[in-house]
Structure 1
Amino acid sequence: MAEEQLVTFSLGTEEFGVDIMRVQEIIRIPPITRVPKAPSYVEGVINLRGNVIPVISLRSRFGMTRVDETDLSRIIVLQVQTKVFGIRVDAVTEVLRLDSEAIEPPPQVALGMDSQFIRGVGKIGERLLILLDLTHIMGGEISHEFSS
């Protein structure tokens, strides 16, 4: 039986998952440098051991209200194809394995979010986990501005 290993995180009351193979590391929030004229969901860039990495606010990307940073706030550094970028999340919750059979395609009305960001919904007992399609999170705009 096929299974996926996921890193799960929360944004407010929702729980999300990303493929662990895309995750380079999880870091506390460092100082973020704003970038003029960047899309609203781009918080700015960070310096990660000499590499400049764009940081996406998933709350802004998904049209959720902004919240203040807490001790649990993290940046998940991801690599999608050749792009390395960070997503800012409220808290990283766990690493888990999910059987492929427990993953359903996204519902038509995709939870008020743009369905292009969602590749499926995972069921873990009573919990629902929104599985993100990371190829669209960055958006086409950024890949030109921050090409590596």
Structure 2
Amino acid sequence: MSAHVFSDPPMSVMARRLGHAGSAAFVLGAMLVWIVNDQAHPYVTLALSAYAAMVVSFLGGIHWGLGFQHHDPPASLFVWGVLASLFAWVAVMMPANAGLVLDGVLLVLCYLVDRKVYPAQGLARWLTLRFRLSAVAALSCFLGAAGT
């Protein structure tokens, strides 16, 4: 009798690389908030906030994709996807000092929601990467807000 060991499929190398590249954009944006001149400052803070909002919307959209895989999906997958995008939109419309804080909070909240949803959907293997990317992104937003 041989023992069968089941393991999760390996994580996509491309997804990991693209995730890290996306984190680099957050870090660059937060750095620029602190070093650009007063004329460029509003554009840099808006760029960071808009990028964060797009990422939050993307993370919410993942829940729609998960819902599409089920015959009778839980409504919470779709509701969360819409709420994440709506809150991110509000963050972009706010002054940068407050909007970037909301962006950072939303990124943390997205991770906390995913900690509950991903294991139930068989995606727990993505949580370590999600934690790292979310931590860098949220910290970048908070540092960007502090620089406004």
TM-score interval, normalised by the smaller of the two chains: under 0.3
Structure with the larger helix share? 2
Structure with the larger strand share? 1
TM-score by length of 2: 0.24
TM-score by length of 1: 0.24
Which of structures 1 and 2 has the bigger CA Rg? 2
